[in-house]
Amino acid sequence: MKRILALMLAAVMLLGLAACAKTAGTAGSSAAASSAPAAASAPAASAAASSSAAASTPAGSDSAKELTLAWSGTGQDKDKFDALVAKYTEETGVKINTVFIPGTWSEYFTKIQSMIGAGENVDAAFVAIEGFNMMCDMGIAKPLNTYIDANKDEVNKVLDNLEPSLLKAMTLSDGNMYAFPTECNNIVIHCNKASFQKAGLELPKEDWTKDEFLADCKKLTYEENGVKHYAFAVPQYYFMIEGWLRNNGSAIVSDDLKTPTINSPENVETIQFLQDLIYKYGYAPIPEPNVDPIQQLMDGTVAMGSFGRWPTLSYQANDFKDAYVTKVPKFSTQQTMFGIGGVAVTSEKNYEEAAKFALWCAQDTFVKGYLSAGGIPANKAIADEIIPTEYDPENSQLFYASLKDAVPIGAPASYAEIDSIVTSALSDIFMNQADVKTTLDNAAQQMSAAMN
């Protein structure tokens, strides 16, 4: 009944979404910015772009199948995407009709619900972990174990090259796998090397502490020719902030994804520290909606920021080669957090064809062609081959190496609702100097209602 009601609601929401599409900003994300996912990537346009991979059916093929694929982003990299997918059509005779959906991750997954609820055909969809549990809970994503069991040799070539943490993130407690991991991203600290050199500082080691971070911030903050240069751009969104909370032994929700923990004492301490960077110490600028912290990092007006690999897209576009990456500083612990994405099957009718395409998206041709920048290939062999590029930061081996003992972002089935609650709370804290504990207590109450 829950699934039926949710799909009925999604169908109703379709009209609203069509009428009030809005431009998305960055919203911290798991999976890579290479496809301009709604989160943690380039800003999205206000309307979806659709495309078809036009390629002829290979000689001798008896397949006339077509699949509809939902993909996050504006289609700004449509030419590259279409060229890659056309190769799949040449190999298999299966034509892929791609619908690009812009917006935040929450908007993206709501739109997929709406399309399916309205009876539109969607055979496969790119799924970031932010919407993974929601799509599985509603029965939108189909278990892949039947396909895996029938194609073990081919599938194992992909799965055997994944860190266990990544493989586990795409598998639910029922033992079923629901997507073949294509790409991932994590939260690390990007440093402008010139800023550190100017301040007379060594680049931070991976095992640095909160106190060492704070000491560096003091030296990295100064005014020159009337321009304030700050040490750090405070993280503003769910994905980014959880990358810090994990370093103090907590998270936004409990490990079983059933209870909000955003107001835990550890989280209050961490978020208070980040607020203090702005208002107590003056080491961080007040976040502004239309100011890009990656651009600030490249300009040198901030020396550090919390990102994954997605800034390499901006580094490449701006010919910026002066970044370095290290881990988020240690509070009570040091725990890397990651997000992950892959292609899920959303159709029973074309299950076999869609599962085969989903696996192809996790293999060499697609991953190498699509993830030269932005995302971290989930497949370690491919990651080792294509990272670093000339625009990857110094110490870029950290991107994949840090996944070994990493944990996935906590993203319950109600992620779309709680993401909005968390973003609102952080905005109040980092822009309006709201009391941290009171704001997080209120957020926890709202999240509890959304999750139950």
**pLDDT tens per residue across span 53-72:** 433 344 334 344 899 999 99
pLDDT of residue 106: 81
Contact call for residues 126 and 343 (beta carbons, < 8 A): yes
Residue 203 has which token pair? 């680049």
pLDDT at 175: 86
Please, what is the Cα angle at 417 between 49 and 179, to 5 degrees? 60
pLDDT at 6 over 80: no
Distance CA 183, CA 45 (A): 23
CA dihedral 339, 343, 347, 348 (to 10 degrees): -100
383-434 per-position pLDDT tens digit: 999 999 999 999 999 999 999 889 999 999 999 899 999 999 999 999 988 8
Res 23: pLDDT: 30
Contacts of 290 (CB under 8 A, 6+ apart): none
Clarify whether residues 241 and 344 are in a common domain.
no
**CB–CB of 116/87 below 8 Å?**
no
Mean pLDDT (whole number) for 165-187: 90
**Mean pLDDT across the stretch 367-382?**
91
Lowest mean pLDDT among 72-76, 126-130, 273-277: 72-76
Looking at the predicted structure, is the pLDDT value of residue 303 above 90?
yes
263: helix, coil or strand?
A: coil
**What confidence tier does 52 reach under pLDDT thresholds 50, 70, 90?**
very low
**Proportion of the chain above pLDDT 90, given as a percent:** 73
Average pLDDT over residues 116-137: 91
In terms of domains, do 274 and 226 share one? Answer: yes
Alpha carbon separation from 182 to 155, 158, 271, 356, 362 (Å, rounded): 13, 10, 32, 14, 4
Query: Do residue 117 and residue 207 come from a single domain?
Result: no
Tell me, what's the pLDDT at 371?
83
Q: Is 212 left (phi over 0), alpha (psi -120 to 50) or beta?
A: alpha
326 and 375 inside one domain: no
Whether residues 321 and 354 share a domain: the answer is no
Overall number of domains in the chain: 2
CB 41 within 8 A of CB 374: yes
Q: For 19-49, how does the pLDDT look when each residue is reduced to its tens digit (9 = 90+)?
A: 233 333 333 344 433 333 333 333 333 333 4
Name the more confident of 332 and 174. 332
Tell me what the mean pLDDT of segment 313-337 comes to: 97
pLDDT tens readout for residues 199-212? 999 999 999 999 99
229 and 376 share one domain? no
- Out of 376, 393, 408, a domain closes at 408
Together in a domain, 198 and 254: yes
Confidence of residue 198 (pLDDT cuts 50, 70, 90): very high
Rg (CA), the chain: 21
Looking at the fold, whether 70 and 127 belong to one and the same domain comes out as yes
| pLDDT at position 75 | 80
| pLDDT for 34 | 32
pLDDT value for 293: 97
Q: What angle do CA 149, 109, 127 make, to 5 degrees?
A: 35
Instruction: Give the pLDDT score at 37.
Output: 36
pLDDT category of residue 170 using cuts at 50, 70 and 90: confident
- Across the strands, what pairs with 345? 124
pLDDT at 281: 98
CATH number assigned to the domain comprising residue 397: 3.40.190.10
Contact of 124 with 344, CB cutoff 8 Å? yes
**Given a cut of 90, is residue 313 above it in pLDDT?**
yes
Same domain, 150 and 216: no
Q: Rounded to whole angstroms, how far apart are CA atoms 44 and 47?
A: 8
Higher pLDDT: 29 or 130? It is: 130
* 12/155 same-domain check: yes
**Mean pLDDT of all residues in the chain?**
86
Identify which of 364, 342, 357, 363 has the alpha carbon closest to the alpha carbon of residue 67.
357
- The CA-based angle 139-113-239, given to 5 degrees, is 90
Which residues share a beta bridge with 125?
70, 344
pLDDT given for residue 76 in this prediction: 77
168 and 283 part of one domain:
no
* pLDDT of 333 strictly over 60: yes
**Which pLDDT value is given to residue 48?**
39
Q: Do residue 225 and residue 263 come from a single domain?
A: yes
pLDDT tens digits for 72-119?
A: 988 878 888 999 999 999 999 999 999 999 988 888 988 998 998 899
Which residue range forms the structural domain that includes residue 322? 188-335+414-451
